[in-house]
């Protein structure tokens, strides 16, 4: 499709966004039509999957300021179709040098909001360094071309969609507290109060456009030093935060070894720690394969029970062991070893739900844990779509799965003055007090305590599944937002495709189930299960909580037999899948 025909094509395809139609060339899935269009434009200009994914990531920073941005960070897996090699890049934020273990604790208690709202919540951003590093290592096009759609979007403006509305509404008080964020993301009413912009209102971000132009010309240096860096540090410090220009100057991305496993003959590569997601994906799929070697029938209540129990145990391991491997000994290899997965599977009662608290320190499975036997149980509001995923597979079989975030909706709600850079609140992904739940209700332990320079534990799980016929060829690129629910979303999409032989469009649409060990409840989304199946799970002792919906899976599938690509954007959000005919 010619680039000039793109706008019309985007309109046309937007009407059929969820139909996973076949493409002969590259295909992309993102949470925003503009980001998917930018990715497709890069492919049309001769760029590869990395050029497309990075262009989409920069556009996402402009059009979805509530999900991700240049003030955030993330993870990417990049597969080279020619060499068959896959690399992982960790460009997540790190704790500033002056961060301390107890910075969010007063009088022995975590102060609510301190690690999520405002300047003290801000960790050192990694997105710009990460996106440019990906481009340098794997891309074909220059930054000026790849950043152009994002710059244009920032200048032209974005219209306020229902998603923008609900996200800004959820963070209204937080945004109102920051004058710069209010100026950009809210409007003044006639009475002088700061309110949500009306639906359809156009928001322009000229300061962000200038910052992106500087990055396009000057590279990461234009962000991590000079005017932008100074504005970030000054803004954060003026509000009582601890981030400095030295922190920004010292920021480095970290190459990681992808975590490898398999499911029913398919090789899987996923994100290793500091992501906790990849370990959970391999543990749960491994346990399911062990317990159901013959495969899993769609919505079979017995298999659903086994899935929930495997997830419960994976999240216990997560709480106990996972954190930044550069700071503590994270036993990743053991956790995904066949022996450990067999133990995990073997400890499941096929007929009865295990009480989560019985898996805590007094039981042999959790000895040595730093968690107390009765951790505070916080039930989070599950719908917090403030992260975004981009999947691309190009015509040459290069693939990218990239998940990026500013953590909470609109991050910390702090915009660095004059730069348009909305800063993250990724510090909340640390254990503010080991054993005390964070905004997602996740309880993490000692390995995830705050230390300067450390990466907070993450749920982000960009994942590649390879074809059975050729384990060097990517069959599925997938990932999602959803905080603690990210790994279970990824697991279910993979299982739907591999076990159910489901087309990728349907696999991302399907209702979902999630457990995270604490709170001890099984979340079922509104289309997740019909009453009879729910009743059989309840009879096994699962405490069910109906949740409206969560996640936003973005996936590209290659049919190993025909080589055709199919892309799918989750109907739960405003995204779009596109491809080259």
Q: Provide the annotated binding site.
A: 92, 405-407, 429, 458-459, 483
Tokens representing 564? Answer: 């055709």
Q: What are phi and psi of 277, to 5 degrees?
A: -70, -45
Q: Residue 511 CB, nearest distance to ligand DON (Å)? A: 17
Binding residues for L-glutamate: 92, 405-407, 429, 458-459, 483
Which residues contact ligand DON (rule: CB under 6 A)? 384-387, 405, 407, 426, 429, 458-460, 481-483, 486
**Which of the residues 30, 253, 270, 387 is marked catalytic?**
387
Q: Residue 72 CB, nearest distance to ligand DON (Å)? A: 9
Angle, vertex CA 209, rays to CA 189 and CA 390, nearest 5: 100
Residue 71 CA neighbour count, 13 Å, CB half: 41
Question: CB–CB of 317/282 below 8 Å?
Answer: no
Task: Give the nearer residue to ligand DON in terms of CB position, either 211 or 573.
Answer: 573
Name the CA dihedral angle for 87, 88, 91, 92, rounded to a multiple of 10 degrees. Answer: 180
DSSP string, 167-230: HHHHTHHHHHT-HHHHHHH-EE-TTS-EEPPPTTPEEP-HHHHHHHHHHHHHTTHHHHSHHHHH
Q: Residue 111 CB, nearest distance to ligand DON (Å)? A: 19
CA distance 27 to 243: 39
**Could you confirm whether 211 is annotated as catalytic?**
no
Tokens representing 413? Answer: 């709600």
Task: Give the nearer residue to ligand DON in terms of CB position, either 133 or 444.
Answer: 444
Task: Give the nearer residue to ligand DON in terms of CB position, either 475 or 478.
Answer: 478
Task: Give the nearer residue to ligand DON in terms of CB position, either 47 or 382.
Answer: 382
Which residues, listed in sequence order, are joined to residue 465 by a DSSP beta bridge?
A: 268, 476
CA distance 392 to 71: 23
CA distance 244 to 241: 9
Q: What are phi and psi of 10, to 5 degrees?
A: -60, -45
Q: Residue 488 CB, nearest distance to ligand DON (Å)? A: 12
Task: Give the nearer residue to ligand DON in terms of CB position, either 384 or 514.
Answer: 384
CA distance 324 to 447: 7
Q: Residue 26 CB, nearest distance to ligand DON (Å)? A: 26
E-strand ranges in 276-359 read none
Known catalytic residues are 387
């Amino acid at each position: 499709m010619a680039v000039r025909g793109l706008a019309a094509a985007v309109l046309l395809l937007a009407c059929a966004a969820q139909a996973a139609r076949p493409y002969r060339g590259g295909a992309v899935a993102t949470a925003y039509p503009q980001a998917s269009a930018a990715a497709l434009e890069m492919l049309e200009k001769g760029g590869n999957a990395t050029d497309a994914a990075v262009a989409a990531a920069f556009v996402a920073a402009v059009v979805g300021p509530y999900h991700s941005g240049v003030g955030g960070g993330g993870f990417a897996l990049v597969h080279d179709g020619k060499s068959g090699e896959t690399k992982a890049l960790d460009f997540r934020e790190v704790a500033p040098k002056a961060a301390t273990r107890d910075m969010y604790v007063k009088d022995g208690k975590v102060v609510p909001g301190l690690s999520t709202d405002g300047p003290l919540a801000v960790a050192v951003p990694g997105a710009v360094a990460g996106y440019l590093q990906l481009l340098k290592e794997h891309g074909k096009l220059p930054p000026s071309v790849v950043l152009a759609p994002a710059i244009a979007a920032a200048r032209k403006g974005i219209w306020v969609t229902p998603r923008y509305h609900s996200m800004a509404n959820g963070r209204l008080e937080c945004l109102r507290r920051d004058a710069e964020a209010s100026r950009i993301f809210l409007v003044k009413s006639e009475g002088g109060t700061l309110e949500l912009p009306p639906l359809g209102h156009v928001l322009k971000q000229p300061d962000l456009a200038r910052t992106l132009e500087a990055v396009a010309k000057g590279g990461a240096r234009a962000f991590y030093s000079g005017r932008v860096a100074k504005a970030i540090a000054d803004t954060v410090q003026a509000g009582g935060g601890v981030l400095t220009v030295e922190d920004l100057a010292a920021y480095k991305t970290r190459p990681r070894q992808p975590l490898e496993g398999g499911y029913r003959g398919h090789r899987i590569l996923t994100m290793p720690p500091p992501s906790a997601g990849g370990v959970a994906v391999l543990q749960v799929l491994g346990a399911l394969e062990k317990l159901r070697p013959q495969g899993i029938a769609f919505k079979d209540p017995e298999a659903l029970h086994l899935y929930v129990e495997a997830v419960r145990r994976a999240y216990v391991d997560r709480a106990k062991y996972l954190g930044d491997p550069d700071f503590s000994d994270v036993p990743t290899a053991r956790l995904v070893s066949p022996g450990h997965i067999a133990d995990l599977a073997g400890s499941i009662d096929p007929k009865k739900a295990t009480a989560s608290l019985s898996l805590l320190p007094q039981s042999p499975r959790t000895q040595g844990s730093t968690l107390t036997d009765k951790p505070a149980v916080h039930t989070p509001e599950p719908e917090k779509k403030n992260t975004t995923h981009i999947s691309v597979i190009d015509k040459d079989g290069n693939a990218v799965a990239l998940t990026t975030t500013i953590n909470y909706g609109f991050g910390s709600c702090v915009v660095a003055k004059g730069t348009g850079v909305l800063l993250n609140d990724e510090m909340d992904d640390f254990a503010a007090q080991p054993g005390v739940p964070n905004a997602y209700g996740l309880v993490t332990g000692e390995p995830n305590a705050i230390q300067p320079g450390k990466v907070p534990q993450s749920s982000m799980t960009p994942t590649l599944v390879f074809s059975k016929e050729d384990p060097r060829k990517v069959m599925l690129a997938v990932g999602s937002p959803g905080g603690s629910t990210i790994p279970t979303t990824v697991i279910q999409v993979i299982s739907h495709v591999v076990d159910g032989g489901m087309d990728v469009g349907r696999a991302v649409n399907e209702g979902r189930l999630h457990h995270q060990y604490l709170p001890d409840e099984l979340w079922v989304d509104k289309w997740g299960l019909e009453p009879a199946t729910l009743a059989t799970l309840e009879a096994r002792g699962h405490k069910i909580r109906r949740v409206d919906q969560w996640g936003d899976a973005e996936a590209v599938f290659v049919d190993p037999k025909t080589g055709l690509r199919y892309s799918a954007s989750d109907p739960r959000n405003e995204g779009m899948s596109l491809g080259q005919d």
